[in-house]
Chains A and B, each alone.
Chain A
Amino acid sequence: MTTGIEARSRILNHLRDGLGDTQPLSQEDDIGCVADVQRNYEERIQQFSHMMAAAKADVHRTTDRLWPELLEQLLREKKISNLLVSLQKEPGKRLAEYEPDFVLRDTGDNPLAIKDELFFGTPAALTTCRGAIAETGSLVIWPDAQEPRAMSLIPPVHFVLLKARDIHSTFADVIRLEGWATGMPTNALLISGPSKTADIARILAYGAHGPRELVVILVDDEAN
């Protein structure tokens, strides 16, 4: 749906008139480039962890077998007694089998129905991610019905499971290798640390509107 039909045509006409003899440029006309940095598997992990730590996120490297135990320990240390997780996804199922000493709360089928719970009664959530970017220390997340957008935003502590082999070198690599241009989701996110602000006298404070803590559980398959 487009509104303001007259405004639309006037604006486009102004722009077309304004083009004059301008020839459309193509990508081949571009000059300059982004410095090309190639990183191997271990370097990607190191760079990712370094950038995340610089943004005050915690990264814990573990194995596929040990991560539920690690998560349990982290929750105990943070004195968090319940965790929001999708029991329909693999990590949720794993946790349910593991029978941890904290309460597992399922996101269910209708994310809109858990809005109040998210705002007022969810101390922490665990989500998966699609991958990560080493260069900037960013998690790539495409929220869905089981792991909705609000899950990585509203709870004060956000745990993320990341498989080490899913860490790409750059954002440009992610876009190209995963063919993003052929189909974008409703919402794609890069998350590069806990929420923060420096709007008061340039002093950095964490937990502005989103999570105060971002904890990445890095599952390293190669270490198995």
Chain B
Amino acid sequence: MNDFRERVDRDLNNPLLRSNFREAMNFLMDKRSSRFPDDEQLQSLRDLGASIRKRALSKLPDLLEQLEARLRDNGIRVHWAESPEQANQIVLDIARHHGAKTVIKGKSMVSEETELNEFLEQEGVTPIESDMGEYILQLAEDKPSHIVMPAIHKTRQEIAHLFEDNLAGCEYTEDVDALILAARKELRKAFHSADIGLTGVNFMVAETGTLVLVENEGNGRMSTTVPNVHIAMTGLEKVIESLDDLPPLLTLLTNSATGQPITTYVNMISSPRQQGEDGPEEVHLILLDNGRTIPYADKEMRQTLQCIRCAACMNHCPVYTRLGGHAYGTTYPGPIGSILSPHLLGLEETKDLPSASTLCGACSEVCPVRIPIPDLLRRLRHEGVRKLKSGEEAVIRGHGAKYTHTEKAAWLSWSKLYSSPALYRTFALSATLFRGLTPSRMKGWTDHRTLPRPAKKSLHSLVKSYRKQNGASL
């Protein structure tokens, strides 16, 4: 994470990447806005979305226990993991138990968070990504740059070359239908023979013990239907109280994410296969903490956990649009990543992220569950430079990671200067008198800009002399 600035420089200087993201974000923003023509209805729906998520979080431990009890009654096995390592180990144990050689994966950002693929490969189990975007990235040994459209940074030509090089019998073509057909054929074989299917979860319904997955491709359904074992892996905050809470959140999710009234498939799973049915014999759910309990303990930062992962915040973020997702260096990029990743990884690792924002507020204007992202970014900036008072408990790992004595001293001096008229006047006078001594290079600023020289006379003195000549009114 410490080479954040290097990655920013790298990606800002990649014109192809910048134009890819600019076009893709324009496309996604247009799609979303076309789906919400009535602003009054949209605002009311967002109120409801926020209420549902706040309500769920206000009784999260109880709902998790209720969910677990329902799932258990339905025959689904529940596992709890505090860390990515524990979550990965649970997957491996299940794989070992079944003698599994391959795990076919629907899209799961949590498995990206735990770096499951790398772990399974080391342990001799082959993970196969089946979401088209994730499949492309796996072939390219690349990472997602967007949480909904993971391969959005790849051009059609790059993908055509990738398929030509990696898929047996696939010739170079830029015809998207042909490319998708080639991948479909390859992945059908994988679905047919895979031992385990692994997916994420969009919502977990505590009332009925139901796992809800939304998708367009059908790979999520394939992963949860064909293999004999299904493992669902998700963050523990994804629980909602009742089935009645589902329709408004689904509407908000799919419309905000891709401007679709609904995705092709909404897949609701409540048990393993029953006598005579098809589907997996075993269904497992892994609930991952990985730092989520930390923001939960702070009422303001708890709002981070309201997120339903629609990615509208990144689609509308001027910083994300210019950088793309990789520069952030974390699983979740963009505004939501900048407020979530510090909790998952600690501020030490992510100290630059809360500053990677202009605080323009576009993210919070579109967030379907009304997360006040700019407020949370400012809070994290504050926690990053604040020293704990004696006896005060840190609200985040890596608290004060950005604190420096120099910065502290600089702001103290600034504060003194601007609160004392005498000091301020002396400073203004010296700055104009000695303006010739202004250094030509100043860290950060002069890398990209010319340093302005102070004017000959300060605004105050100009106003003063004007008034002397022309009377009191300016």
A positions within 8 Å CB-CB of B: 1-4, 7-8, 10-12, 14-20, 22-27, 29-35, 51, 55, 109-112, 115-116, 119, 135-138, 143-145, 148-150, 153-154, 170-172, 175-176, 180-181, 184-203, 205-211
Contacts and interface: CB of A to CB of B under 8 A. Distances in A.
Given A8-B80, A15-B296, A25-B54, A209 B187 contact: yes
Nearest to A211: B218
A195 B273 contact: no
A209 B225 contact: no
Nearest to B43: A32
Contacts of A29: 51, 55
B398 interface: no
B244 interface: yes
Given A24-B58, A145-B277, A208-B219, A200 B132 contact: yes
A208 B226 CA distance: 16
B151 interface: yes
A89 to B, nearest CB: 14
B84 interface: no
Contacts of B191: 209
A115 to B, nearest CB: 7
Contacts of B262: 136-138, 190, 192
A210 B221 contact: yes
Highest count of chain A CB atoms <10 Å: which of B80, B225, B274: B80
B261 A195 contact: no
Given A24-B62, A115-B226, A186-B277, A7 B80 contact: yes
Q: How large is the interface on B (under 10, 10 to 19, 20 to 34, 35 or more residues)?
A: 35 or more
A180 B243 contact: yes
B264 A185 contact: no
Highest count of chain A CB atoms <10 Å: which of B226, B250, B278, B289: B278
A202 to B, nearest CB: 6
Contacts of B209: 184
Contacts of A19: 60-61
Contact of B264 (A7, A16, A116, A196): A196
Contacts of B155: 201
Contacts of A148: 277-279
B99 interface: no
Contact of A137 (B50, B72, B261): B261
Contact of B184 (A143, A198, A209): A209
B148 to A, nearest CB: 10
A11 B293 contact: yes
Contacts of A33: 44-45, 48
A187 B269 contact: yes
B61 A171 contact: no
B265 A191 contact: yes
Contacts of A110: 276
| Nearest 3 pairs of A and B residues by beta carbon | A32-B47, A210-B218, A18-B297
Contacts of A35: 38, 41, 44-45
A34 B45 contact: yes
B265 A189 contact: yes
B133 interface: yes
16 contacts: A1-B72, A7-B86, A10-B82, A12-B65, A14-B297, A15-B60, A34-B45, A35-B44, A35-B45, A184-B243, A186-B273, A187-B279, A199-B133, A202-B24, A209-B187, A209-B219
